[in-house]
Amino acid sequence: MHTPVLLNELIKMMDIKSSGIYADCTGGGGGHAAAVLERLSPEGRLLILDRDPQAVERLIARFNGDGRVTVFRSNFSDIDTVFDKAGIDKADGIYADFGVSSFQLEDGSRGFSFRNDGPIDMRMDTAKGVSAAEVVNTFTAENIAVIIAKFGEEKFARRIASEITRRRALKKFSTTGELAETVKAAVPRKFHKKGIHPATKTFQALRIFVNGELEAIGELMGKIGGLLKAGGRFGGISFHSLEDRIVKDCLSEYSKDCVCPPELPVCVCGKRAEFRIITRKPVTPSEIEVEANPLSRSAKLRIAEKL
């Protein structure tokens, strides 16, 4: 079961209007969506997006018969197309809970996890793109190292990539267990941390690459301004610094007035702030939440209001 992270904080800070229009960009198991729906009257509307076909099936089954809800199988980078299809111009709130769900992680057959053995895949949208198996079995050591370093911030990226290519010359990788074992062997023992599998960063990196996760967040952030009413709010929950940096930098840029070089005596850029940041510092889970759900420990919530 997926436990929604920072649930009370998100709901409170989105300042839900009972007859408002909302978009949940990352439906997953529907935990955040259900809490939003509790606050919506029959006039309210909730669009729920997910790119994962299994999540979409689950969401349709969960909210079946609720006339306020429409579920879309879509990448949130195409949120503007979803609004068009739904006949909606602007919303009162758009929120996203980035990353992977426990449903995806726990289902070995999806190939996301080193804990639940299965065929290496990691695609959220199983109909699109290259799988992680293709990456580890066909990309050059150089390219694999770049992916692991860039999206996993893993300092042993080169060693891991060369161990992967050495082993695949003997036998192609087929399971997440084999891959996890290879990464573990490549990371020097003294750098193995207690309670954290040495393949954690490598698996994160492959997942982010295979799903184009950071590009999708960038595209979503580029669209929120045009899709929110004045006073409407955006909420983003990130799980690692690469995601959070995109949200933070975009919101900071959108909340600035003039961006002319300081030496200019008058403003020539004409830029005006589009958003007001509500969370100067990101909101993080309480100790109680982290104890109950250790997966929430790195979550950060940022909220901004459209001006």
Ligand X SMILES: C[S@@+](CC[C@H](N)C(=O)[O-])C[C@H]1O[C@@H](n2cnc3c(N)ncnc32)[C@H](O)[C@@H]1O
Footprint on this chain of ligand X (rule: CB under 6 A): 2, 4, 26, 28-32, 49-52, 55, 75-77, 97, 99, 101, 124, 216
- Residues 59 and 30 sit within 8 Å (Cβ to Cβ): yes
CB of 118 to ligand X, least distance (A): 17
Measured from the CB atom, the residue of 46 and 164 that comes closer to ligand X is 46
CA distance 146 to 153: 10
Tokens of 168: 């695949």
Residue with smaller CB distance to ligand X, 258 or 290 = 290
Q: Which amino acid belongs to residue 212?
A: G
Collapse the DSSP code of 97 into the 3-class scheme (helix H, G, I; strand E, B; otherwise coil) and give the result.
strand
In the bound complex, what is the minimum distance in angstroms from residue 56's beta carbon to ligand X? 9
The nearest distance, CB 175 to ligand X, in angstroms, is: 22
Q: Which of 186, 247 has the CB closer to ligand X?
A: 247
Tokens 């109950």 label which residue? Answer: 292
Smallest separation (angstroms) from ligand X to the CB of 261: 35
Element (H, E) at 286: none
Round to whole Å and give the CA distance between 206 and 110.
13
The least CB distance from residue 141 to ligand X, in Å, is 28
Residue 124 or 183: which CB sits closer to ligand X?
124
**Residue (97 or 244) nearer to ligand X, CB:** 97
SS3 204: helix
Q: How far, in Å, CA of 53 to CA of 127, rounded? A: 9
